[in-house]
Each structure stands twice: as C-alpha cells, then as structure tokens.
C-alpha cells in the first residue's frame, strides 16, 4: 500500500505545494483495518492494487484513516467507489456515521467528500476522538486554516 500512497501523494503535493515526507500508514494499522473489515483495495486486471481506503473504528463511528488512488487511475470514479464501500460497511456495522479529516480547499478533498454527503464539523460538533486527531495533525504541521473534520451521519 505504501507504493500507492507515495504515488497518490504527488497529486496532493502539487495541489498543496509540498514535498512528500515519505510517511505511510503503518502495516499494523492496515492489518487492524482489514480485521475490522474496513480495508478496501482496488486491483487491476492483473490483480495488482492501485487504490485503497483504510478505516478504523472510532467510538461509534468509522474514521477514514487514508484513501489513495494512484495517479494514472485518478478521476475515474475509483475513490468514490472506495468511499461508498466504506460508507456501506459503516452502516452494516451499526456505526453512527463516517468521519475523516482532510484539506478544506483541495478539490479532491473536502469538496469531494461534500459531494458524498459529508459536512464540515465545527469544534463543538466533533466527537472527542476526531477532535484529538485533528488537533494532532495541526500540532504536527497541518495548516489550521486548511485542515477540517468532516462527518456523514446516518
């Protein structure tokens, strides 16, 4: 999955004017997503992965830890299909909704999630765990003006 993340970040990096720091989702977190039935992987005709979405249980929600699509597969509806799978899994598992943190302005971030029914949460609306994730991101270099928490409630 690391290769997918690194390739996909090039698009986000250009949008944000940032270099990739090389950090990827640790294997243990991906295994936890798999165990929770919250890891979705898109593969090509040769069964090679080119996109994935990884979620985690966060209190009574499903938190989208990561979603990445390799550049050559972007803008083909793959990310939307992965997110729809995550949303359906969350519903089937009885979650109260799906949450995530993202960039407010990049078109394939907050505006994309808004098109799926997500909305930006104000601080008082954020579940405790989600607020802590957003705070951690900002404390570790995320732009306070750009980082937002979003939710799709069921």
Counting other chains too, the contacts that 123-130 makes at CB distance below 8 Å and 24 or more residues apart are 125/151, 127/58, 127/59, 127/61, 127/99, 128/59, 129/58, 129/59, 129/63, 130/58, 130/61, 130/63, 130/99, 130/101
If one counts the domains in the chain, the total is 1
**Predicted local distance difference test score (pLDDT) of residue 21:** 60
For the entire predicted model, the pTM comes to 0.90
Q: Are 1 and 49 in contact (CB under 8 A)?
A: yes
Instruction: Please determine, for residue 95, whether its predicted confidence score (pLDDT) is greater than 70.
Output: yes
Question: Residue 15 pLDDT more than 60?
Answer: no
Residue 142's pLDDT is 86
Say which range, 17-21, 33-37, 103-107, 113-117, has the weakest mean pLDDT.
17-21
Query: Does residue 107 carry a pLDDT above 90?
Result: no
Residue 13 has pLDDT above 60, yes or no: no
Kindly state the helix (H) or strand (E) to which residue 10 belongs, with its residue range: helix 2-16
Please provide the size of the chain in residues.
Answer: 154
Expressed as residue numbers, the domain containing 12 is 2-153
pLDDT of residue 22: 62
CATH number at residue 14: 3.40.630.30
Residue 21's Cβ-count burial label (10 Å; 0-12, 13-18, 19+) is exposed
**Average of per-residue pLDDT values in the chain:** 92
């Amino acid at each position: 999955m690391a290769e997918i993340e690194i390739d996909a970040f090039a698009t986000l990096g250009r949008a944000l004017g940032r270099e990739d720091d090389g950090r990827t989702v640790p294997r243990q977190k991906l295994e936890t997503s798999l165990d929770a039935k919250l890891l979705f992987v898109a593969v090509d005709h040769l069964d090679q992965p080119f996109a994935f979405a990884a979620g985690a249980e966060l209190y009574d929600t499903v938190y989208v830890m990561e979603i990445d699509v390799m550049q050559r597969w972007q803008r083909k509806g793959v990310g939307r299909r992965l997110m729809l799978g995550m949303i359906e899994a969350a519903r089937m598992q009885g979650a109260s909704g799906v949450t995530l943190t993202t960039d407010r302005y990049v078109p394939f971030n907050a505006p994309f999630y808004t098109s799926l029914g997500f909305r930006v949460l104000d601080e008082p609306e954020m579940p405790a765990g989600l607020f802590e994730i957003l705070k951690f991101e900002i404390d570790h270099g995320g732009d306070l003006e750009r980082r937002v928490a979003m939710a799709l409630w069921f």
